[in-house]
Structure formats: C-alpha cells, structure tokens
Amino acid sequence: MSTPKRTQPYRLDVKKEETVQICICGQTDSPPLCDCSHPDHTDPFEFTPEKDETLTICGCGRSDALPWCDGSHTEC
C-alpha cells in the first residue's frame, strides 16, 4: 500500500550537514522521510544541506523536479 498523495508540499527543517533520506517510492509510513519500506531497487534520495534550512518536498507526486516541489500542485 502506498502513502496517500497530498495536495501540498511537506516542509522539513534540516540542520547543516545532517543527511536526510527522502522517500521517493511512496511506501513510507513517515513521509516525507524514508522508513526503509522501499523495494530493493528503489533507494531513497539522500540530501545533505550546506546550511540550516527548510526544505520544500513534493507531496503530490506531480513535480518535474522530484523530490522537490516545483509548484505543480497548484495546476488544475
């Protein structure tokens, strides 16, 4: 069972040089982060910020810049 799609992005506060694993398979129970529910052939997207920041991660699955939100969720 996959995680239901949202109509808004996730906002995730991250710390400088703290690597996060972002789910790209849709199987996680703790979106937007990976909980290792993915199939063997689908690794999470790893990101290590260069500074403390808030990430904007796609929750709708329609972004052309996955895993980041590109504003596509606002299109009808």
List the one residue from 31, 44, 59, 67 that touches ligand FES (CB under 6 A).
Answer: 59
User: x/- binding map, residues 3-22, to ligand FES, per CB under 6 A?
Assistant: -----xx-------------
Q: How far is CA 18 from CA 8, 59, 71, in A?
A: 24, 22, 26
- Near ligand FES by CB under 6 A, which window of 11-19, 28-36, 39-47, 57-65? 57-65
Residue owning tokens 């694993």: 21
List the one residue from 20, 28, 58, 67 that touches ligand FES (CB under 6 A).
Answer: 58
User: x/- binding map, residues 26-45, to ligand FES, per CB under 6 A?
Assistant: --------------------
> Are the beta carbons of 24 and 45 closer than 8 angstroms?
yes
> Are the beta carbons of 61 and 3 closer than 8 angstroms?
no
Distance CA 6, CA 4 (A): 7
Site residues, ligand FES (CB under 6 A): 8-9, 58-60, 62-63, 69-73
